[in-house]
Structure 1
Amino acid sequence: MKPPSAAELERRKIVSINAETVTDVTSTDYPGHYPGEDHVWDLETFRSGLRIEFHKNEPLEASFSVIGVDASIANAFRRIMIADVPTLAIETVFINNNTSVIQDEVLAHRLGLIPFKGGREGLHTFLKWKKKPAEGTDDNNLFDYNTVMLSLNVECTHNEDAAEGETDPNKLYRHASVYARDIVYEPIGRQGQYFSGDDIIAPVNPDILIAKLRPGQCIDLTMHMHKGVGSDHAKFSPVATASYRLLPTIDILKPILGPDAEKFARCFPRGVIALDKVTRQEAAQEGSGYEGHEGELKAVVADPMRDTVSRECLRHAEFEDKVKLGRRRDHFIYLIESSGQWDSDAIFLESIAHFKEKARKIEQQVINMVR
């Protein structure tokens, strides 16, 4: 067969968005392969088609595009970020005294969901996985390299310095509200070498509310924190959000001018469609559709990435056959919101390392199976 044309290659990359349906959504049995065509995998071809573009990169939030991969690869990165990147979380709570209105098991659950941060070297190099004790033994396998100890000891008392007639509990009492900053880290063994100063283990957000107390009530407990992954429990997941969407495509097939252009722009989120004036060159070009409209406003696509693909423009008769909507099936826009233990971009880089390790293990298993 003749190699596919550029137009055919472009068509294969687009999922069509119609007024009532979505078409061209199915892929082939082997992504990127078509009958009668040679699509043997080649590293240089893959490398030339792969691009990663960052749109926003902040410690707690990152947005970037991965271009040139199949949906299975893009989704693998997302699932690894959610379930396989390790963090620390409170696993065991030993309650000595709890006279607050919160039940022991609810209090323990709230403590387990508080994200903690610490020195990168200590968290990712020094601390190891805690192994489950052998069945029938009392050995808990608690060491400085697999267990972090914390304590919380707070009692609510009257504030003698409160103004007469004060009604705010936070001013009327001391420790009326128990926050994450009240949790105290107790280093053991060699942990002091890795977790001190700016690298000390502490809650990501010190203002997380744990409980409210009144005079005579107290909370006294100790906690063990271990390393874990999100596939074991959601409290270990390093991300608050890890999602992706396909890049929207907006093709204006026929000129949209004047008041119609302004209405067309209002059909999209702000910034997606811009209004430009028809230039003299465009008005003079035969067959452009702009003949005799020099100086009038025309609709142009400014930033399709802002579009939410609401299909609002397809509801109006004046835009029929003038616009075509779609999504590019090999352009994935990620949004990563870190819960604080990892920088948002570092989570993605760590997911790549985990993906490579999984591929290496599968390769070895295939080799063993062939042998």
Structure 2
Amino acid sequence: MLSSLLSAYPAKSASCWLCSFSDLPHLSSIAVPTVNCSSASVVKQAMSQIVNTIQNFCNSNSSNPPITWIGVIGGDRLVGQILRAYVECLHHKSSSHWLHYLRFAIIPAPHSLVAKLLEGHDAVLDQLCRDMWERWTELSPVEKLANTEKMNAWLTAGGGACLNLPIGEALLQLADACRVFVPFLAEVRVGQSSEDEDSPYTFSSPRGKIILINLALSGSPPNSPQVRTDAHEIDPSNVSLVNVNSMPSQNVTPNSKKDLSKGSMKATFRTLVITRSCNQHLLSLNFVKEKRKEKMLQKLGMKKGQVSRSENENPPVQVTAVSRLLCSGASKHTDLTVSVDGSTYQRVRYFQCSSQWQTHIKSFPVSLISQGVGPIGL
């Protein structure tokens, strides 16, 4: 399907819907151009084909190519694969014009992290998400046809407002000495993705799991060049926290009297989540520390049920305006499980989160259906 669309470009739009038929089997039977992306390699191949087609047009024409709308129907995993393919394909495109050649039309899975980012920005899109994911079998043939026409018009006639979602960077140092750079839009959490996605403070490790973690935060914007310098600056033993003045004094130790934008904290956490909303360029750190009283009781062999939950739990804490964060286990032998926008990575020795991707690709352009929201600047 994609090859046939690209062969007629630019006379015919190269726009299509990237999806997984295993998520929504009915997508294979509706009259919209779809590409079944069963794996990350298929996603990367599809994105490469689209980018190469646009590049061929630029090589033989003095005018700018038309905007190509790429539809996405899927959950956090598929959106994450497409985001990664996007930054990799445009990494070597030095011209800033490339940032305006592509737009993504996303119909996210309900309750996904991406859905939470987009929810409320476009009532038409919110309704289309519900129809495609939750109500399809209940729709009449007329309603199904109307949704199909809406999807086709979205890609061919163009969308409405554009949300330029800031792209963050998670650098993961794995136990096998492999270093992985992962772009993200919404969330990085210690532990696997939670089933209870309504709570930003839910930690999905086994019940009672406690992790002793060193934290390093910075309030200064990352001073990185266009080309990434890798992570030689990162030292797991150098722990430091941003917005020191907004933190309880007993939680944070400033690194230096001269630099109050940094501090240090070593604590046992029940939850640790780094988040960002679509209109924030900096990150937020959300955590719940273990209460000392509960730790003492566990050492004495007492069961959790013997003490009231309210007595054992610390309140959640949020630190805003974080530009960089370093997190490692209490010792060099401690491995972490880290979830980046829903994709889980095991045996992580330490990781760093930065508020912006360290190339010229700083945002992910998401097209809405209506003009309900003005664009967020690149």
Task: Say whether the fold is shared (TM-score over 0.5).
Answer: no
**TM-score range, shorter-chain basis?**
under 0.3
- What TM-score do the two structures reach when normalised by structure 1? 0.21
- What TM-score do the two structures reach when normalised by structure 2? 0.21
Q: Which structure has the bigger radius of gyration? A: 1
